[in-house]
């Protein structure tokens, strides 16, 4: 698959949400995008929020991790639909979020300190070129640090809204969520009792009267509708994409 040791892929549970939360009580979609307690900057972008304490590599300077939204081939020259994201820590509290798309031939760049597997280009921790043949720096994404434990990365092209409404079915009361999807991504539904609480993954069905035994669903490139059993009178649902450390 690649010319360097294949990395262990570990799914970290949360959080990559870019759907609009929907209120169980009202059944109306809210008019902002949320992920945990973070809000998207606009409807075109998604937010990736990371807890530093989850990643040992980011506890020290000159280190990095690589996160993937979908499977990819490092030397195929492309990744569909999204390239992995490199998250790196320089000295102090300086962090960088970069596209892993090599600017030479489009291969997938490893974490900081390793050469591109295709032609050996090397990049500095901030994404600038250390030596070629790469002609320019890696694409940089806006990233903020709360000074404590949270990094928030703005990822282009992932913003969208969802619609939701409570319905009655043969299986009882359920909450119907409809949202656009992208092929190659895997989606899950999180439930929060209030905006400040931690979300937890819930099971759902892909038909109104179906068995609610799904915990994830693959994107199709079109709209998907799922049905979540209602277990409480209030709360919020968010649509999340599963992310892996690659």
Both tokens assigned to 179: 């949202």
Under-70 pLDDT residues of the chain: 1-44, 77-81, 159-160, 194-198, 233
CA neighbor of 30 nearest in space, from 226, 179, 164: 164
d(CA 175, CA 2): 44
- Is 232:193 a contact under the CB 8 Å cutoff? yes
Q: Is 50 exposed, middle or buried (0-12, 13-18, 19+ CB in 10 A)?
A: buried
Q: Enumerate helices (H) and strands (E) in the chain, giving the number of each.
A: 0, 22
Tens-place pLDDT, residues 157-178: 776 677 888 899 999 999 999 8
Structure confidence at residue 102 (pLDDT): 94
From the list 162, 167, 210, the residue with the least C-alpha distance to 19 is: 162
* C-alpha count within 13 angstroms, C-beta hemisphere, residue 94: 7
**Which of 125, 128, 98, 99 is closest to 114 using CA atoms?**
125
Q: What is the pLDDT of residue 198?
A: 62
Q: DSSP letter string over 129-182?
A: EEESS--SPPPEE-EEE-SSSEEEEEEET-----EEEEEEETTEEEEEEEEE--
Of 225, 191, 223, the C-alpha closest to 208 is 225
- E strand or H helix at 33: strand 29-35
For residue 49, the model assigns a pLDDT of 80
Q: Which pLDDT does position 20 carry in this prediction?
A: 35
Q: Which CATH architecture has domain 48-156?
A: 3-layer Sandwich (2.102)
Distance of CA 161 to the CA centre of its chain: 15
pLDDT of residue 196: 60
Q: What percent of the chain has pLDDT over 90?
A: 37
User: Which residues in the chain are classed under CATH 2.102.10.10?
Assistant: 48-156
pTM above 0.75, yes or no: no
pLDDT for res 26: 31
């Amino acid at each position: 698959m690649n010319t360097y040791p294949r990395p262990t892929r570990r799914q970290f549970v949360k959080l990559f949400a870019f759907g609009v939360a929907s209120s169980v009580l009202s059944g109306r979609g809210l008019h902002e995008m949320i992920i945990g307690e973070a809000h998207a900057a606009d409807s075109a972008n998604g937010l990736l929020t990371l807890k530093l304490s989850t990643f040992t590599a980011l506890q020290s300077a000159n280190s990095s991790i690589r996160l993937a939204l979908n499977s990819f081939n490092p030397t195929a020259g492309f990744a569909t639909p999204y390239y992995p994201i490199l998250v790196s820590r320089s000295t102090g509290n300086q962090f960088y979020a970069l596209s892993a798309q090599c600017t030479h031939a489009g291969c997938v760049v490893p974490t900081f300190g390793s050469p591109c597997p295709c032609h050996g280009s090397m990049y500095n921790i901030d994404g600038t070129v250390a030596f070629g043949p790469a002609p320019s720096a890696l694409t940089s994404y806006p990233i903020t640090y709360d000074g404590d434990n949270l990094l928030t990365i703005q990822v282009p092209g992932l913003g969208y809204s969802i619609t939701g409404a409570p319905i009655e079915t043969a299986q009882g009361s359920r909450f119907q969520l409809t949202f656009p999807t992208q092929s190659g991504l895997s989606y899950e539904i999180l439930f929060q009792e209030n905006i400040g609480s931690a979300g937890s993954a819930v099971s759902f069905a892909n038909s109104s009267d179906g068995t609610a035994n799904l915990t994830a669903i693959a994107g199709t490139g079109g709209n998907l509708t799922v049905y979540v059993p209602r277990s409480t009178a209030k709360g919020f649902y968010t649509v999340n994409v599963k992310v892996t450390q690659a």
